Structure 1
Amino acid sequence: MVQYGYTLMTEQSDPKSLVRWAAEAEEAGWDFEVSSDHYFPWLDSQGHAPNAWVTLGAVAQATSRVELMTYVTCPIMRYHPTVVAQQAATLDLLADGRFTLGLGAGENLNEHVVGRGWPPANVRHEMFVEAVEIIDALFAGGYVSYAGQHFRTDSAKLWDIGEVPPRIGIAVSGEQSCRIAGEHADAMIAVEPKKSLGEMFDRFGGTGKPRIGQLPISFGTDKDAAIERAHDQFRWFAGGWKVNAELPGTAAFDAASQFVRKEDVADQIPCGDDPQAVKDAVKEFVDAGFTHVALVQIGGDQQEEFLRWSEKELLPALREL
């Protein structure tokens, strides 16, 4: 059976609200919860970017049933992989084994803040592989020393980690990232319902492992207002990840998306209060072989209304899939 997740979108909400909605989402019947890990919002109108790891620590205490996940953390610049491993191990203990470490090669938007420049995609993938190897080794226990082309680790060790280490999910968008995920991940992560991604993941070792997708929606009883909100806060989504990974800040995303029309957004993102529209969009992921689908409700001030609607109408409709 497909599992459905609620997204704690740090770019659009303050940390206390995120923790409250995490608890309410669990009560509403969502199966799992994922959190973005951003230093910047995509656009100024979103207006937030609290620390995901601190927030998830509080979420782990405010919930008891839902699986938790970073969607996704970049371990190659803002964080050294040894720090990511320690954060993940600690969070997994706080969550009683409910945590999956979602990893990806990152976006310039969040990583430029450390002032090291933004390497080209092939170099980022080299860095990412080394980072995952370090995290894998630390999760295995014992002391870890590592001397790679991009990272070094000197006698690192995780002193607090569960008997079963956190699961690792890796974000994919093409063959290179699918190979990395197939070789290193316990789950595949993607934002596009492409069957080909799962097939490549399988070919490189991912057969039988979960695949987790994500879909933005804009719920609201006034469909025009829901489209307006989606355009205001999520028009950057139309750029695609090859573009989105390279832009350095909110001004760049605003400029890059200035010609995206409301109708363009409405074509990509289900808007309004029709469960069938969301169900149809989710079905694309299900038909592509995804085992988990997380939804993003656009708009920080719309979450409580969305959660009430999801409990009564949306989740029952999705369970029919």
Structure 2
Amino acid sequence: MPEFGFALSSELHGPNELVDHAVRAEELGFDYLTVSDHYHPWIPAQGESPFVWTTLGGVARAVDGIPIDTGVTCPIMRIHPAIVAQAAATAATMHPGTFSLGVGTGEALNEHVTGEHWPEQPVRLEMLEEAVAVIRKLWSGEQVSHHGTHFDVQNARLFTLPESEPAIHVSAYGERAARTAAAIGDGLVSVGPQATVADAFADAGGEGPKYAQLTLSYAETEDEAVDAAYERWPNTALAGELSSLLPTPVHFDQACEMVAPGDIAEGSTVTDPDPDAHIETVEQFVDAGYDHVTLHQVAPDVEGLLEFYAEEVMPSF
């Protein structure tokens, strides 16, 4: 049976709200949390983008030990992997035994802000492999110098380290990235019930948990849910590689002019308030090979969504 997690959406909520959501999810019996790592929201209407490592510190002091994962951090451009290694080690020290580092190749939206060239996907995967190797070296506690294809580290040593190394879960939306996740990670992170991604991860020898994010717009009626998703999260309906390539929230806003409310209603965002629709969707995730289902509420009523799942959906599993 799957474990149920709740996604702390840094694009839609400020840091104090995210801490409150973490506490409430734990109170209601959710199995784990994830928290997004963004410099920008996808569109201006979402309105937030707090620094994830500060939020993690706040969550650590407020919860009683619910596991938490970054969903996901890109350690290849905006933040050098040596700094990610330090940040994650500190987070793991504050969340003893319950923090894991989710990593991925990121989006131009967040990573271009330092002025670096945004490389194509195969290069970003190479960078991610090297970045994860650097992070693991630094977690050894030894002094590290590394002069690789993409990154340099000189005489670096971490002094604040957790008792055990965090797991590294690697994001993949396609089969090539899934094979990379199998090679360098301790688990898989994806979105939607993409069976081909889970299968590619397993076929390449990948081991560990398989997380998939389920986008929800929960409201009292389906019309309200569709309207909320259309206003707050239309970007989920964008096709192809736009999500990786567009550089600013304004560009996403412009691209989302192509999205209609009907695209939301017919798309992957679950807007039906009937518990059976949610149970059926979770079953699709399980059938696709995912053992962790992460709920991402894009409508405003976070409390309603948490209680709905705790009372009407999770007991079925």
TM-score norm. by structure 2 comes to 0.96
Paired position in structure 2 for 1:45: 45
Distance in 1, Cα, partners of 2:194 & 2:217: 22
CA contact (8 A) 2:230 2:260 kept: yes
Distance in 2, Cα, partners of 1:284 & 1:314: 14
Distance in 2, Cα, partners of 1:146 & 1:152: 5
Distance in 2, Cα, partners of 1:149 & 1:131: 10
CA contact (8 A) 1:22 1:33 kept: yes
CA contact (8 A) 2:238 2:259 kept: no
For 1:27, give the aligned amino acid: E
For 1:154, give the aligned amino acid: Q
Map of 1:211-250 to 2, 5 A cutoff?
A: 211-240=210-239, 242-250=241-249
CA contact (8 A) 1:221 1:272 kept: no
For 2:301, give the aligned amino acid: Q
Paired position in structure 2 for 1:156: 156
Paired position in structure 1 for 2:78: 78
TM-score norm. by structure 1 comes to 0.95
Identity of aligned residues (%): 39
Distance in 2, Cα, partners of 1:241 & 1:283: 26
CA displacement at 1:6 relative to structure 2: 0.5
Runs of 4+ residues over 4 Å off in structure 1: none
**Residue 21 (1) aligns with residue 54 (2):** no
Paired position in structure 2 for 1:261: 260
How many positions carry a matched residue from both structures? 316
Any idea what the Cα deviations from partners look like across 1:60-102, whole Å, max 9, x if unmatched?
A: 1111131100000000111100111111111111011100100
Paired position in structure 1 for 2:110: 110
For 2:184, give the aligned amino acid: H
Any idea what the Cα deviations from partners look like across 1:125-173, whole Å, max 9, x if unmatched?
A: 2211111110121123312111111100112122121231010000012
Which has the larger displacement, 79-88 or 279-288? 279-288
Paired position in structure 1 for 2:181: 181
Q: Extract unaligned runs of 5+ from structure 2.
A: none
**Residue 146 (1) aligns with residue 146 (2):** yes
RMSD over equivalenced CA pairs, Å: 1.4
CA contact (8 A) 1:81 1:132 kept: yes
For 2:135, give the aligned amino acid: I
CA contact (8 A) 1:64 1:95 kept: no
Paired position in structure 2 for 1:125: 125
3-state DSSP of counterpart to 1:206? coil
Map of 1:44-63 to 2, 5 A cutoff?
A: 44-63=44-63
Map of 1:305-316 to 2, 5 A cutoff?
A: 305-316=304-315
Distance in 2, Cα, partners of 1:140 & 1:161: 9
Which has the larger displacement, 117-126 or 79-88? 117-126
CA displacement at 1:59 relative to structure 2: 0.6
Distance in 1, Cα, partners of 2:44 & 2:313: 30
CA contact (8 A) 2:93 2:163 kept: no
3-state DSSP of counterpart to 1:21? helix
For 1:145, give the aligned amino acid: S
Distance in 1, Cα, partners of 2:257 & 2:213: 24
Distance in 2, Cα, partners of 1:152 & 1:23: 39
Distance in 1, Cα, partners of 2:111 & 2:89: 22
**Residue 252 (1) aligns with residue 251 (2):** yes
CA displacement at 1:259 relative to structure 2: 1.9
CA contact (8 A) 1:28 1:310 kept: no
3-state DSSP of counterpart to 1:160? coil
For 2:236, give the aligned amino acid: F
CA contact (8 A) 2:90 2:161 kept: yes
CA displacement at 1:283 relative to structure 2: 1.6
Cα pair distance change 1:44/1:69, threshold 3 Å:
same
For 2:84, give the aligned amino acid: V
Which has the larger displacement, 233-242 or 13-22? 233-242
CA displacement at 1:240 relative to structure 2: 4.0
CA contact (8 A) 1:182 1:202 kept: yes
Distance in 1, Cα, partners of 2:110 & 2:155: 29
For 1:161, give the aligned amino acid: L
Distance in 1, Cα, partners of 2:278 & 2:228: 17
CA contact (8 A) 1:112 1:118 kept: yes
CA contact (8 A) 2:181 2:188 kept: yes
CA contact (8 A) 1:231 1:262 kept: yes
Distance in 2, Cα, partners of 1:280 & 1:251: 35
CA displacement at 1:179 relative to structure 2: 2.1
